[in-house]
Amino acid sequence: MSLYRTELRRLAKRRFTRYMTLLGLVVLAAVVVGVFFTNQKIDAGQLARAERQADQQYQEQVRWSERERAECEKAKTAGTPSDGRYPDDCSVITPPPREEIKAEWFLPSTFNFRKTFDETLIPFAAILALVGFVIGASFVGAEWSTGGMMNLLLWRPKRLTVLLTKLAALLTGILAVTLPAAVLWFAGFWAVATFRGSTEKVTSGVMQSAILTGVRGVALVLVLTTIGFALASLGRHTAMALGGVVALMVVGQFGLGILLSMANVKFAEAWLLPTYALAWMTKTVTLQNWNSCNATFYGECKPETMDITWQQSSVMFSVGLVVILGAALWAMRRRDIS
């Protein structure tokens, strides 16, 4: 009997795998339904009403500016100290340009597929990556804690072959769930945009960008699934993976973030893993250092910036994956099975 098919069947028959997968899919469905009911399609009447509200807001700004300018001139004439309330030149108190008050501010929430769909792939990847991590850790961790791994090695004594076959079956199962879920996610948000938003200006380039972002999301799911599997195998218990992640996030990430913030480290977010996961999905994350001011030709102060790219994230994730999986394989090869 094929070891690979046996592991696939074992993975599919585990109740924890089924329940965890179902929970992840239910959460994804809830997100789509929630977005559907919190958005609405914009018609001509709503646009006209929003334009009127923008005009009213502009008129209020005009009246406020005229009133403040009059008070400023009155205070200057009387010689009353303004305590910094008014500028030296009262004529600079003017309303904002009409075009800066946008009608979109007064419109209800609507789902624009071209502008928003890529952002929805971030929670999609995060939820399925969490599901994959927990399933991967449990799949091999349960084998170690119940003694199933020792019994299996009596039948197939090649240790690395057994472990890698388990991993291959696990990734196949996760991929079999993730790909249809991605298709349904796309279809669900296309329906949301059709009935509760807009699908205008969705070109082939927009679709290609969405597909590439989705591919990166699937890759992130597979990487985190593999890391969960490797950590549980390394510690020979599911708790090793789950406890390690809790320690990493609570102590390593939150604690490190607080420490770096207290030390006023420049671009502290560059030391945190979520920044690289976000950069992997969005292609670029721009960090800003507001303690540094770069004056422009017009006297504007702009913060110093630093870009974290998806290429940098791919290097970090690749190194982490190789180190953790390599350690699990080394431990499987060198340590006693007992």
Range list of β-strands (E), 45-144: 111-112
Domain positions in the chain are 3-39+111-334, 44-106
Measured between its terminal Cα atoms, the distance across the chain in Å is 25
pLDDT of residue 296: 45
Phi-psi domain of 285 (left: phi exceeds 0; alpha: psi -120 through 50; beta: other): beta
For residues 143 and 36, the answer to whether their CB atoms sit within 8 Å is no
Q: Whole-angstrom Cα distance, residue 48 to residue 43? A: 9
**Cβ proximity of 1 and 129 under 8 Å:** no
pLDDT digits (tens, 9 = 90+) for 170-181: 999 999 999 999
For 101, 131, 133, the CA distances from 106, given in Å and listed in that order, are 10, 39, 42
Helix, strand, coil % in the chain, rounded to nearest 5: 75, 5, 15
CB 241, CB 228: distance < 8 Å = yes
pLDDT above 50: residue 287: yes
Q: Predicted confidence band at 297 (pLDDT cuts at 50, 70, 90)?
A: very low
* Phi and psi torsions of 220, nearest 5°: -65, -40
| DSSP character string of 137-167 | HHHHHHHHHHTHHHHHHHHS--HHHHHHHHH
Distance CA 68, CA 75 (A): 10
249-266 average pLDDT score: 68
Determine the pLDDT at residue 104. 79
Q: CA 12 → CA 31, 127, 260, distances in Å?
A: 25, 20, 44
- List, for residues 11-37, the tens digit of each pLDDT value: 999 898 999 999 999 999 999 999 999
pLDDT of residue 191: 95
Contact at 8 Å (CB) between 306 and 286?
A: yes
User: Which range has the worst mean pLDDT, 96-105, 137-146, 236-245?
Assistant: 236-245
* Residues 218, 131 contacting (CB under 8 angstroms): no
Whole-Å CA distances, 101 to 47, 68, 95: 14, 20, 11
* Spatial separation of the C-alpha atoms in residues 9 and 201, rounded to whole Å: 45
pLDDT in tens, 189-215: 999 999 998 898 899 999 999 999 999
> For residue 289, is pLDDT > 60?
yes
Q: Strand runs (DSSP E) across the chain, as ranges? A: 111-112, 197-198, 284-295, 301-309
Longest CA pairwise span in the chain (Å): 99
Strands 301-309 and 284-295: antiparallel
Q: What is the pLDDT of residue 253?
A: 65
CA distance 41 to 321: 44
Q: What is the pLDDT of residues 35-56, one digit of tens each?
A: 999 998 887 788 888 888 888 8
